[in-house]
């Protein structure tokens, strides 16, 4: 993966960034950091896609969708919730309605 594709994913997800010897990026959801990743600076440097995918908790298809614009930030948040990376709030949990007593 190229550095510009990495930057596209970071921008799409609204990740916070900091530049040091690498470009660090992290996603904060409801005040909690839920994913972190980084890439090296420099021209012609490629970013190891498998490592970024693992750090973002997505599979290859989902990751490709992130930088090709077929996978939205909302869908990404749903994936993180389904994997337990983001805890769902009690009001977001789906529960069956109570059965009426007769």
> What is the residue extent of each domain of the chain?
3-82
Query: Taking the CA atoms of the chain, what radius of gyration do you get in angstroms?
Result: 17
pLDDT digits (tens, 9 = 90+) for 66-95: 888 788 889 999 999 999 888 877 665 555
- Using alpha carbons, select from 58, 86, 18 the residue that is nearest to residue 26: 18
The pLDDT value given to residue 41:
78
Mean pLDDT, the chain, whole residue set: 84
Select the more confidently predicted residue: 55 or 92: 55
As a dihedral over the C-alpha atoms of residue 71, residue 76, residue 77, residue 81, rounded to 10 degrees, the angle is 130
pTM: 0.74
Q: Which residues contact 2 (CB under 8 A, 6 or more apart)?
A: 46, 47
Lowest-confidence region among 41-45, 49-53, 62-66, 70-74: 41-45
Strand partners, 22: 40
- Ranking 19-28, 56-65, 91-100 by mean pLDDT, the lowest is 91-100
């Amino acid at each position: 993966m190229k550095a510009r594709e990495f930057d596209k994913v970071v921008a799409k997800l609204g990740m916070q960034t900091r530049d040091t010897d690498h470009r660090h990026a992290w996603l904060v959801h409801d005040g909690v950091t839920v994913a972190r990743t980084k890439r090296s600076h420099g021209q012609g440097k490629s970013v190891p896609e498998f490592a970024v995918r693992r750090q973002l908790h997505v599979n290859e298809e989902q990751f490709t969708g992130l930088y090709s614009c077929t996978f939205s930030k909302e869908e990404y948040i749903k994936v993180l919730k389904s994997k337990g990376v983001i805890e769902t709030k009690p009001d977001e949990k789906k529960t069956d309605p109570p059965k009426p007593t007769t």
